[in-house]
Amino acid sequence: PQVIRRDAYREPDWLVPETALDFRLDSLQTRVKARLTVVRHGDHDRPLRLDGDSLTPVAVSVDGRAVTDWTMEDGQLVIALSGVDHVIETEVEIAPELNTQLMGLYASGGLLCTQCEAEGFRRITFFPDRPDVLSRYTVRMDADKARYPVLLANGDPIASGDLPDGRHWAEWHDPFPKPCYLFALVAGDLEANRDSFVTMTGRKVDLGIWVRAADLPKTDHAMAALKLSMAWDEAMYGREYDLDVFNIVAVADFNFGAMENKGLNVFNSRYILADPDTATDMDYDAIAGVVAHEYFHNWSGNRVTCRDWFQLSLKEGFTVFRDQQFSGDQGSKAVKRIEDVRTLRASQFPEDSGPLAHPIRPESYMEISNFYTATIYNKGAEIVRMIHTILGPEKFRAATDLYFARHDGEAATCEDFVKAMEDGGGVDLSQFRLWYSQAGTPRVKAALSHDGATARLKLEQTVPATPGQPEKQPMLLPLKVRLFGAQSEAPLCDERIVMLSAANDEIVIEGIEERPILSINRGFSAPVVLESDRGAADLAFLSAHDDDPFARYEAMQQLMVDTLVRAVAEGMADHGPVIEAVRGTLTDKALDASFIAEAVLLPSEAFIGDQMLVVDPDAINRARDSLRAELGVKLESAWRGAYDSAQANRFEYSPAAKGARRLKSVALGYLAASGAKDAADLAYAQFAGADNMTDRQGALGVLVNGTSGNRAKAIEAFYDRYQDNALVLDKWFTSQALSTRADVMDEVLALSSHPDFTLANPNRVRALAGAFSVNQRGFHGADGRGYAFLADIIIALDKLNPQTAAKLVPPLGRWRRFDERRAEKMRAALQRIVDAPGLSKDVFEQASKSLG
Ligand code: DPP
Ligand code: ZN
Which residue range forms the structural domain that includes residue 151? Answer: 4-189
CA 352 to chain centre: 15
Quick check: is 710 in a domain?
no
Strand ranges of the sheet holding 156-162, from the earlier edge strand across to the other edge: 65-66, 59-62, 85-94, 30-40, 14-24, 135-144, 167-178, 156-162
Quick check: is 581 in a domain?
no
Whether 417 shows a pLDDT value over 90: the answer reads: yes
Helices and strands counted in the chain (H then E): 30, 31
Assess whether 412 and 460 both reside in one domain: no
Interval 148-175: pLDDT, tens: 999 999 999 999 999 999 999 999 999 9
Domain count, the chain: 4
Taken as a whole, the chain contains a residue count of: 852
**CATH number of 104's domain:** 2.60.40.1730
Written as one letter, the residue type at 30 is T
The CA R_g of the chain, rounded to the nearest whole Å, is 28
Whether 647 shows a pLDDT value over 90: the answer reads: no
**CATH number of 311's domain:** 1.10.390.10
Nearest protein Cα to ligand 1, atom 3: 259
Assess whether 26 and 92 both reside in one domain: yes
Provide the annotated active-site residues.
294
Residues 6+ apart with CB under 8 A from 250: 209, 210, 211, 215, 219, 267, 268, 269, 272, 273
- Percent helix, strand, coil in the chain, to 5, is 45, 20, 30
Residues 6+ apart with CB under 8 A from 716: none
Whether 646 shows a pLDDT value over 90: the answer reads: no
**DSSP readout, 295-353?**
HHTTTBTTTBEESSGGGHHHHHHHHHHHHHHHHHHHS-HHHHHHHHHHHIIIIIHHHHT
Quick check: is 272 in a domain?
no
Tell me which of 419, 437, 455 is where a domain ends. Answer: 437
Mutate which of 297, 304, 318 for ligand 1? The one with the most ligand atoms within 8 Å of its CB, which is 297
Q: How far is the CA of 337 from the centre of ligand 2 (A)?
A: 19
Assess whether 184 and 66 both reside in one domain: yes
Residue 293 Cβ inside 6 Å of ligand 1? The answer reads yes
Cα separation, 263 vs 265, in Å, equals: 6
pLDDT at residue number 219? 99
Q: Which ligand is nearest to the CA of 256?
A: 1
Interval 104-131: pLDDT, tens: 999 999 999 999 999 999 999 999 999 9
SS3 227: helix
State percent of the chain over pLDDT 70: 100
Q: Could you identify the atom of ligand 1 that is nearest to the CA of residue 255? A: 6
Sign of the CA dihedral running 321, 288, 607, 774: negative
Cα separation, 598 vs 550, in Å, equals: 10
CB 512 within 8 A of CB 487: no
Q: Which ligand is nearest to the CA of 373?
A: 1
**DSSP readout, 169-218?**
EEEEEEEEEE-GGG--EEEES-EEEEEEEE-TTS-EEEEEEEE-GGGGGG
CB 459 within 8 A of CB 479: yes
Kindly list the distances between the CA atom of residue 532 and the CA atoms of 318, 447, 500, 573, 761, in Å, as whole numbers in the listed order: 31, 6, 16, 19, 46
Cα separation, 108 vs 542, in Å, equals: 52
Assess whether 777 and 747 both reside in one domain: yes
Closest of 505, 549, 162 to residue 337, by C-alpha:
549
Query: Which residues partner with 87 through β-bridges?
Result: 37
Q: How far is the CA of 301 from the centre of ligand 2 (A)?
A: 8
What would the mean pLDDT of 574-584 be, rounded to a whole number?
Answer: 98
Give me the phi and psi of 465, to 5 degrees please.
-65, 145
Residue 260 Cβ inside 6 Å of ligand 1? The answer reads yes
Quick check: is 647 in a domain?
no
Quick check: is 268 in a domain?
no
Query: Which residues partner with 458 through β-bridges?
Result: 447, 506
Interval 782-830: pLDDT, tens: 999 999 999 999 999 999 999 999 999 999 999 999 999 999 999 999 9
Cα separation, 571 vs 71, in Å, equals: 69
ipTM: 0.98
SS3 481: strand
SS3 46: coil
With residue 567 as reference, give the H or E element that holds it: helix 549-570
Closest of 735, 808, 733 to residue 770, by C-alpha:
808
Quick check: is 40 in a domain?
yes
CB 832 within 8 A of CB 791: yes
Mean pLDDT value across the chain? 98
Cα separation, 767 vs 270, in Å, equals: 12
CA 116 to chain centre: 18
Cα separation, 826 vs 812, in Å, equals: 6
Mutate which of 295, 316, 803 for ligand 1? The one with the most ligand atoms within 8 Å of its CB, which is 316
Q: How far is the CA of 418 from the centre of ligand 1 (A)?
A: 22
Assess whether 401 and 461 both reside in one domain: no
Q: Could you identify the atom of ligand 1 that is nearest to the CA of residue 301? A: 1
Q: Hey, how many other C-beta atoms are within 10 angstroms of the C-beta on 689?
A: 11
Tell me which of 189, 217, 244 is where a domain ends. Answer: 189
CB 60 within 8 A of CB 77: yes
Mutate which of 272, 294, 302 for ligand 1? The one with the most ligand atoms within 8 Å of its CB, which is 294
CB 399 within 8 A of CB 421: yes
Assess whether 466 and 423 both reside in one domain: no
pLDDT at residue number 677? 95
Tell me which of 407, 437, 467 is where a domain ends. Answer: 437
Quick check: is 106 in a domain?
yes
Q: How far is the CA of 313 from the centre of ligand 2 (A)?
A: 9
Closest of 736, 668, 661 to residue 705, by C-alpha:
736
Whether 253 shows a pLDDT value over 90: the answer reads: yes
Assess whether 110 and 44 both reside in one domain: yes
Residue 97, CB-side half-sphere exposure with 13 Å CA sphere: 7
Q: How far is the CA of 516 from the centre of ligand 1 (A)?
A: 45
Residue 650's pLDDT band (boundaries 50, 70, 90)? confident
Residue 294 Cβ inside 6 Å of ligand 1? The answer reads yes
Q: Could you identify the atom of ligand 1 that is nearest to the CA of residue 290? A: 7
DSSP class of residue 270 equals G
Produce one character per residue of 373-397: b if its CB has 16 or more CB atoms within 10 Å, e if not.
Answer: bbbbbbbbbbbbbbbbbbbeeebbb
Produce one character per residue of 159-176: b if its CB has 16 or more CB atoms within 10 Å, e if not.
Answer: eeeeeeeebbbbbbbbeb
Nearest protein Cα to ligand 1, atom 1: 259
167-178 and 364-365 strand pairing: unpaired
Assess whether 40 and 138 both reside in one domain: yes
Assess whether 427 and 482 both reside in one domain: no
Angle between helical axes of 693-705 and 679-689 (0-180°, round to 10): 150
Nearest protein Cα to ligand 1, atom 6: 259
Residue 837, CB-side half-sphere exposure with 13 Å CA sphere: 0
Kindly list the distances between the CA atom of residue 782 and the CA atoms of 129, 273, 308, 707, 776, in Å, as whole numbers in the listed order: 46, 39, 44, 22, 11
CB 636 within 8 A of CB 376: no
Within 738-800, where are the H helices?
A: 744-752, 762-765, 771-773, 776-779, 785-800
**CATH number of 453's domain:** 2.60.40.1840
Nearest protein Cα to ligand 1, atom 2: 259
Produce one character per residue of 432-451: b if its CB has 16 or more CB atoms within 10 Å, e if not.
Answer: bbbbbebbbbbebebebebe
Whether 343 shows a pLDDT value over 80: the answer reads: yes
Closest of 492, 496, 600, 503 to residue 544, by C-alpha:
600
Q: Which ligand is nearest to the CA of 179?
A: 1
Nearest protein Cα to ligand 1, atom 5: 259
Q: Could you identify the atom of ligand 1 that is nearest to the CA of residue 377? A: 4
Assess whether 407 and 468 both reside in one domain: no
Interval 770-783: pLDDT, tens: 999 999 999 999 99
Cα separation, 302 vs 295, in Å, equals: 10
What would the mean pLDDT of 438-449 be, rounded to a whole number?
Answer: 98
Residue 649's pLDDT band (boundaries 50, 70, 90)? confident
CB 461 within 8 A of CB 444: yes
CB 466 within 8 A of CB 439: yes
Q: Hey, how many other C-beta atoms are within 10 angstroms of the C-beta on 152?
A: 26
Q: Which ligand is nearest to the CA of 322?
A: 2
496-500 and 477-485 strand pairing: antiparallel
pLDDT at residue number 499? 98
Within 614-678, where are the H helices?
A: 617-634, 636-647, 655-673
Mutate which of 259, 267, 291 for ligand 1? The one with the most ligand atoms within 8 Å of its CB, which is 259
Interval 595-611: pLDDT, tens: 999 999 999 999 999 99
Whether 648 shows a pLDDT value over 80: the answer reads: no
Closest of 439, 441, 444 to residue 469, by C-alpha:
439
Q: Which residue has the higher pLDDT, 645 or 352?
A: 352
Assess whether 389 and 466 both reside in one domain: no
Q: Could you identify the atom of ligand 1 that is nearest to the CA of residue 115? A: 6
pLDDT at residue number 645? 87
Angle between helical axes of 679-689 and 710-722 (0-180°, round to 10): 10
Assess whether 802 and 852 both reside in one domain: yes
Residue 700's pLDDT band (boundaries 50, 70, 90)? very high
With residue 721 as reference, give the H or E element that holds it: helix 710-722
Quick check: is 138 in a domain?
yes
Residue 136's pLDDT band (boundaries 50, 70, 90)? very high
Omega before 357 cis (within 30°)?
no
